[in-house]
Amino acid sequence: MLRVIESHLFEELARVLAAALAERADPFAPPQVAIPGRVVGRWLQYEIARANRIASGYEAEFIDAIVGRALTADAPLRALVLTATLTATHFSLAG
């Protein structure tokens, strides 16, 4: 299930996510959390640990990996090309 929460405040988004993760603690089916980069992922991990006293029960994954896997689920060879393209695009936008 895809759940989208909108806010311009990172703190508000982290609070809502921490509350949702506390409610849904399933070690066999952890929810995926899409993160744009390592810095945001580490900050989010800290905020979840602060709210829930532990940062576990979820899988943080980069957005481009999630999108790439969703777009190429039916063609493994296309996955290699698309992943390289998404990575190159990500670096060109960041640089």
Tens-digit pLDDT profile for residues 47-68: 999 998 888 878 899 988 888 8
* Residues 23/51, Cβ–Cβ less than 8 Å: no
* Residues 41/35, Cβ–Cβ less than 8 Å: yes
Does the pLDDT of residue 21 top 80, yes or no? yes
More confident: 2 or 69? 69
Does the pLDDT of residue 43 top 90, yes or no? yes
Local structure of residue 34 (DSSP, 8 states): E
With 0.85 as the threshold, say if the pTM is over it.
no
| Type of residue numbered 37 | G
